[in-house]
Chains A and B, each alone.
Chain A
Amino acid sequence: MEFERRRDTVTVRITGELDHCSAQPIRRELDGLISDPGVKKLVMDLKDMAFMDSSGIGVILGRYRTLALRGGKVAVKNMNPQVKKVFLLSGMDQVIQIM
């Protein structure tokens, strides 16, 4: 997982597949990246994410809840059609910005 921090924004590139099996290590890594209270925005670049099922919904919404508590937000970009279909089905676009 590659990441970059600029001021209060962390941009992270998640690669591979996000399912129930991979959710826990990805969740742990993301939580580490946003543990600094100064982080207000998490941008997930999903260009290299080949697959996501509903386990990914839990991971993304969980990080959203953490950041929302400090007035922050989450955004996603570069979703492939399969990932976008799962994303939209869950209604996440109501609270997560698509860049």
Chain B
Amino acid sequence: MKIINEMKLEFLGVPENEGFARVAVSAFAVQLDPTLDVLADIKTAVSEAVTNAIVHGYADASGGTVTVAAALQDDGVLSLEIIDKGKGIADIDRAMQPFFTTQPEKERSGMGFSVMQTFMDKVTVESKPGKGTTVRMQKRLREG
């Protein structure tokens, strides 16, 4: 497997950048000519991961930065990393359970990770309390 193109975005962790992040990743991924359904899946998963970084990582509204790194591989796979340096996740398994949320009073559905897992081929999460969270996702855009 060889990387044929890559990009990195760094932006302030504020809600106004959620739409920007998903549109930017979608525009990058379109180089491999995925179907509209696949692009919609990617946009949705990126939206969830970036929203998690903003809502949970920077829950204190500190407005730290979110990094989105994307790579296109010669086997037709898109790899993504969404990184925040926020408060981190103490119990990743619990956080990934459907409907688990730390903010039910804000009508958070707790479906963010479930959406990512359903819409992408592979999702892994690395996190340390106080250090931040990295979500890695992969999706095949076309046969390699």
Contact = CB atoms under 8 A, between A and B. Distances in A.
Contacts of A90: 109, 111
B54 A20 contact: yes
By size class, the interface of chain A is 20 to 34
Interface centre among B55, B107, B108, B112 (most CB of A within 10 A): B107
19 contacts: A17-B19, A19-B15, A20-B55, A21-B15, A23-B107, A53-B44, A53-B48, A54-B109, A55-B51, A57-B109, A58-B106, A58-B108, A81-B40, A85-B41, A85-B44, A85-B119, A86-B44, A89-B118, A90-B111
Contact of B109 (A17, A58, A81): A58
Nearest to A81: B37
Given A51-B44, A57-B111, A86-B44, 5 more contacts: A20-B55, A53-B115, A58-B107, A82-B41, A86-B115
A62 interface: yes
A72 to B, nearest CB: 18
Interface string A38-78: 00000000000001011101110110000000000000000
Interface string A18-33: 0111010001000000
Contacts of B55: 20
Interface residues of B, number: 25
A53 B47 contact: yes
Interface of A: 17, 19-21, 23, 27, 51, 53-55, 57-59, 61-62, 81-82, 85-86, 89-90
B114 interface: yes
B85 interface: no
B143 interface: no
